[in-house]
Chains A and B, each alone.
Chain A
Amino acid sequence: MKQYKVLLKKEWKQFLMEWKIIWFPIVFILLGLMQPVVTYYMPLLMETFGGSEGITIDPLVMKQTSGEVLASTIGSQFDQLGVMVIVISIMGMIQMDRKDGMLDIILTKPVSLISYVLSKYSSHLLLVLFSISVGYLISYGYTVFLFDPIPIQNVLLGFAYYSFWIAFIVALVLLMSAVFKQTAILAISSIGILFMIHMMKGWNRILDLLLPSTISAEAMNQIITGQGSEIFIHIVVTVLWSIILIYLTVQKLSIRKE
């Protein structure tokens, strides 16, 4: 436990040194801001830049509710560009230590692999959740300001559900970071797997129950309608997936063949 705290402190110092603690939330603030602003000003933008001549616009798009706008921040901004930013920013968490030999040095000290892996996971998860929550808060503020208020319970529960999906993403990148040494392969495989998991959502009901990405859709439902279906099962499944991925990371690092 003592070593875990020392390693965790080191991770946060490193975030500060690399300015990650500053620029990472800024990226999510920009992403969070984009959805309500663009949605609100879309008609004006269309008119200003060439008008809407020859373009048929779905009238429903113009009439998005505030809940839908906030949910789109998750679905369109955080789950697409945001996920790519997360993967690229945190993919070096174990890979860099393996590449430059620091992992070897740390493991010659009385540090357990579990402490090491958990310190990496928890510090990066906290950083990502903090950044997303700031972006989400900004998005919420702008949505309420430009559109209508959203019940606070829906906003908070929606974010809580979405946090489980983020926990899964960080666990997946953690494992990939322990498996691959080449940055490009690590990035492509992480984004590829996340994209596939996202695409498989909605194929059939049983698969949906097993997919960690379903909780992201449930988070959006919660924000829009104030209701989620089988949410407890989705939480348990996503948490289980994350635990499995963390366990596999520890196992991967414990095999020290090369």
Chain B
Amino acid sequence: MELVMQKVNKAFKEKKVINNFSLHIHSGECVGLIGPNGAGKSTIMKMITGILQQDSGMIKLNNKEMTKMKKAVGYLPQYPTFYEWMRVKESLIFMGQLFEIPDKTLQQRIKELLHTVGLENNEEDRIVTLSGGMKQRLGIAQALLHKPTFVILDEPVSALDPVGRREIIQLIQQIKNNTTVLLSTHILSDAEEICDRFVILKDGELVADTNNEDIFGSRFQNTLSIELVNEDIYIEELLNKQTYVKNIKKQHDRYLIEVTDIDKNKFDVMKIINEKRINYKKIEIYRENLEDIFLNLVVKK
């Protein structure tokens, strides 16, 4: 399932919320849409599902208008909503019937999904009695009910406790094996864990489109990260004298030491630190992670 968005614009009254946004998601990809609150993540997702109309630009799924592809798309909104007077199973039956799933298949599918999202013991509970986390799981079940080939998940784990979050992450990892997934989140470690590709948004504009290879590719750059127990002003002076040190940068509570050859010089740096008995918390080869990229692009820009 392939999604193409080209030069999409959207404004609410006078305020432009999406500006010339283009995105191409290939079949089988799992893409994380990342951005601070108000960046336009939910608006983009709502335009893809057809809940909102774009002011200009094109959105197509497998080269067809989204309105003709509803059966292929599963959508979990940021705040899943249901007819709260319904029971869990009843709600899924209602949704399944809207997709015209045959009764027998639907019953079987509901059983599977309730087990997958951990609600098999709650199928007769009224939705109004469910906790926020349980509603989120039911929302995921509802989005996957018709076996969509393109799944859109808007902040799927934001309302969950750590245990629930872990379970949902595992669930998404399962579904991404045979489904194209677009998920939005502001929990960057989750995105990094689940997605293969990251699209970073700021003020409705695309500021970066990167993937795991780019991020992990930077792992072997020639930089060491040193976190000290106490701030030691001499470390900079000490290391600056070394010919193999190219640059020293202090970032938050760590020093980033750029050297000429990481494989060789990491032992030299360790030797100096041990000889001078400098207390450290952690020494590691620095790799730029998603958070660094995000902070760099979104906060500093």
B residues near A108, Cβ cutoff 8 Å: 49-51, 70, 73, 75
Residues of A within 8 A of B (CB): 2-3, 6-7, 10, 14, 17-18, 100-102, 104-111, 255-258
Q: Is B12 an interface residue (CB 8 A)?
A: yes
A157, B70: Cα distance in complex, Å: 46
> Is B85 at the interface (CB under 8 A from chain A)?
yes
Instruction: Give A107 to B95 CA distance when docked, in angstroms.
Output: 11
Q: How far is the CA of A104 from the CA of B100 in the complex (A)?
A: 19
Q: Given A256-B52, A256-B53, A257-B53, are A110 and B98 also a contact pair (CB < 8 Å)?
A: yes
B79 CB contacts on chain A under 8 angstroms: 101
State whether A102 touches B83 (Cβ < 8 A).
yes
Q: What chain A residues lie within 8 Å of B70 (beta carbons)?
A: 108-110
Chain A's nearest CB lies how many Å from the CB of B129? 14
B99 within 8 A of A: yes
Chain B stretch 22-73: residues in CB contact (< 8 A) with chain A: 46, 49-53, 70-71, 73
Contact between B94 and A10 (Cβ–Cβ < 8 Å)? Answer: yes
- Of chain A, the residue at the smallest CB distance from B93 is A6
A105 / chain B contacts, CB cutoff of 8 Å: 75, 77, 81-82
**Chain B interface residue bracket vs A:** 20 to 34
Contact among B51, B83, B85 for A256, CB-based, below 8 A: B51
- Beyond the given pairs A109-B70, A109-B98, 19 more chain A to chain B contacts, judged by CB atoms under 8 angstroms and listed by A's residue number, are A3-B100, A6-B98, A14-B83, A14-B85, A101-B79, A101-B81, A102-B83, A104-B46, A104-B77, A105-B77, A105-B81, A105-B82, A108-B51, A110-B98, A255-B53, A256-B50, A256-B51, A256-B52, A257-B12
A10 touches B83 (CB 8 A): yes
Q: Which residue of A lies closest to B10 (CB)?
A: A257
B97 interface residue per 8 A CB criterion: yes
Task: Indicate if the CB atoms of A104 and B51 lie closer than 8 Å.
Answer: yes
Q: Name 12 A/B residue pairs within 8 A (Cβ), A-sorted.
A: A2-B100, A10-B83, A10-B94, A102-B82, A104-B51, A104-B81, A105-B75, A108-B75, A110-B71, A110-B99, A258-B12, A258-B52
